Amino acid sequence: MTQTSLATQRFVAIAVTATLSLSATVKAAEQSDSQEGVYDDNTVVIIASRFKERNARLPTNITIISKDDIERSNATQVVQLLKRVAGVQVSSVSGKTTVSMRGISAEQAGNNVLIQVDGRRLNYTDIAAPDLESVLVSDIERIEIIQGAASTLYGDQAVAGVINIVTRSGNSKESNASLIAGNFGTVQGNVNLNHTLNQDWSFLLSANYLETDNYRDHNERDQSQLAVKFNYLTDTSDWLFEANTNREDLETPGALLDFDLSEPIQSRPEFANDYVDSQQDVLRVFGQETIDENWQYALDVNYLDSDIESINSFVGFPTTTVNTTDRTQWSIYPRIKGEWQAGSGSIDWINGIDYDHAEYDFSLLGRSNEQVVKSLYSQLFIPLSKRTDIELAARYARVEDDLVDLTAYPSGIRLKNSATAYDLGLSHQFSEDSKGYARYSNNYRFAKVDEQSYTAEGVVGLEPQTGDSFEVGYEQSFEHGYLKLSAYQLVLDDEIFFDPAATPPAGAFFPGANVNGGESERLGLIVDYQTELSEELTAGANYHFVDADIKRGESGTAGNRIPGVSEHTVNAWFDWQIDSISNWYIEANYRSDRYQEGDVANAQPKVGSHVVLNSAVNWQWEQVTLGIRVDNLLDKEYIDYAQFGGYYPANGRYGYVKLSYRF
């Protein structure tokens, strides 16, 4: 029997198990059509269609972290919010966070999970991870998460999912200020000032300052941010004009070796001079206009200018060389949506063009790149009946890189590639409060500039990574909770990753190279449940299982586990409304062991499993809120990220007090 047929049987077994476990629930759901639907009609969802709309028709697993969820958890960092989400694995390196989904390793997460703020990409054209630490939690209105491939709608890098962070606008009608003080020398203050200029125009000013020593030695961080937004809102128009700037100075403690871990807070001597100082400026325009009863259009124009100065040493190889990285990225995304009422429901047709232009310069390797990506896409929803929808979608994309690298391509080289993606989805509403769905989709990503310039000897340019995704799911709302179940298969061909066993390019100063691998497969199951145990107590739990294997690769790797991926993750939480002014929140996060990042041979020691407890208590008196949160309550020592024998310890117990005032 072939590996493919065995994989298909395993996926079918997972899907059938999920379906059988739901049969009794579905029957009960079909008997109750009067309760609230799976999606709250008061929630404006952007991520499912790239238009602001009330209903999410995309047949896939969509998670929304609400403003109330954020406030009750007393989180101050985006990573704290994402750790509780089913199917998400979070890793931190020297104070910077990567978020992976669908069995993608942390090393590859920044290339395969698309992260946006209000529709603006945080992902870069180089392999640096999206800067989640630049996002102010006090600014967040909600977080929308697509679990699964979304290449037809979002294009490059939306292989395993999309996270869209929606921030507050000027029309939120509320101002607030907060002050935070915690251990590790943490002090933070931020303010959001809203002002209504007239009936249509409103204004928001946000400012933030943070300084902290962090858990490890030589890891001090200073950050200051300022943002200005103007909103224009009428019955037919919704426009946003935004400018923001972010300055951050960060000392980086580097990795530890195994024998260093008895003192996890230390930084090895070779990293004594290492740092990353960055300045990032963003300009953005978003608009959505209703043309008539059938048509509306939307437009995104984004510009980013990022300048970085750093010293980056390696274990055993100290350096004092100062590197500079300069990025400019701008994009324009026009799209139009038609909507027509039929006897069985609404026909929605979305068409758009995505144009992305980026320039990148890295001084250390004499490396530069000008990249242009052009895409066309179309998405169509057709109601087959009053309870059944079908989704059809397609995208065509072309990328062109003008690449220079001092070692590999000193005279420059032009690389061109293209990719396509297709979706076929079906959703059925069993009742007003339950639905099921199935979805097949293609996905792709183009190689980053760092990857294109460090390929194996004799290889000129990497091919696009492509893949296929299949998902089935069921969602059930109860009077006081919900249940979500989904099973998926993600198969990637020509997967782009760094292989330490590959022949390095000429002039390389470390072994290995970026390659197009053979074939990899992830089979997964997600269970997500929330309920109100009483009027005062809400509880939730979720579980993610993923079987992530290399199916076809270099000699000796076929059948190995994909490194950096935990087979099991479990999250559970309780939120107790103690009385009218106070609540207590506690959560537990479990992650099973996994191979170190990059260890495709599965030869190095595994990173151990861990359980972490986090807790928060909030008191609210009219306009004033006092909150206390402690992360890693039991001061558990564990490894957050490991690669090639270099270990990055997770933070020890971290607590802070937050005082907020609304006006």
Q: Is the pLDDT of residue 299 over 60?
A: yes
**pLDDT at residue 525 above 70?**
yes
Q: Rounded distance, CA 656 to CA 624, Å?
A: 17
Distance (Å, rounded) from C-alpha 113 to C-alpha 645?
25
Q: How far is CA 267 from the centre of its chain?
A: 29
Which helix (DSSP H) or strand (DSSP E) does residue 17 occupy? helix 3-30
Asked whether 167 and 141 are in contact (CB, 8 A), the reply is yes
Q: Is 15 helix (H, G, I), strand (E, B) or coil?
A: helix
The answer to whether the beta carbons of residues 471 and 92 sit under 8 Å apart is no
The predicted structure's pLDDT at residue 203: 92
- pLDDT above 80: residue 169: no
Beta strands (DSSP E) in 344-407 are 345-362, 367-383, 388-405
- pLDDT interval class at 41 (50, 70, 90): very low
C-alpha R_g of the chain: 24
pLDDT at residue number 37: 36
Instruction: Note the pLDDT tens digit of each residue in 475-497.
Output: 999 988 999 999 999 999 999 98
Q: Could you tell me the pLDDT band of residue 44, with boundaries at 50, 70 and 90?
A: low
**Which pLDDT band holds residue 17 (cuts at 50, 70, 90)?**
very low
Q: Which pLDDT band holds residue 40 (cuts at 50, 70, 90)?
A: very low
Q: Which CATH architecture has domain 3-662?
A: Beta Barrel (2.40)
What are the residue ranges spanned by the domains of the chain? 3-662
> Distance (Å, rounded) from C-alpha 154 to C-alpha 354?
9
What would the pLDDT profile of 371-384 be if each residue is shown by its tens digit? Answer: 999 999 999 999 99
- What mean pLDDT do residues 536-544 have? 96
User: Average pLDDT over the chain, rounded to whole?
Assistant: 89
pLDDT in tens, 593-636: 999 998 989 999 999 999 999 999 999 999 999 999 999 999 99
**Structure tokens belonging to residue 457:** 């000897």
User: In this structure, are residues 86 and 63 in contact, taking their beta carbons and an 8 Å threshold?
Assistant: yes
Q: What is the mean pLDDT of residues 175-200?
A: 94
CA distance 486 to 58: 14
Specify the pLDDT at position 555: 65
Q: Which residues contact 9 (CB under 8 A, 6 or more apart)?
A: none
Q: How far apart are CA 589 and CA 595, in angstroms?
A: 19
**Is residue 19 a contact partner of residue 27, using CB atoms and an 8 Å limit?**
no
DSSP 8-state secondary structure symbol assigned to residue 134: G
Is the confidence at residue 55, as pLDDT, over 80?
Answer: no
pTM over 0.85: yes
3-state DSSP assignment of residue 478: strand
d(CA 8, CA 12): 6
For residue 351, the model assigns a pLDDT of 97
Phi/psi of residue 418, each to 5°?
-145, 165
pLDDT at 439 > cutoff 80: yes
The whole-number average pLDDT for the span 409-425 is 94
130 touches 109 (CB < 8 A): no
Residues 166, 141: Cα–Cα separation, whole Å: 6
Contacting residues for 543 by C-beta, under 8 A, at least 6 apart: 86, 525, 526, 527, 568, 569, 570
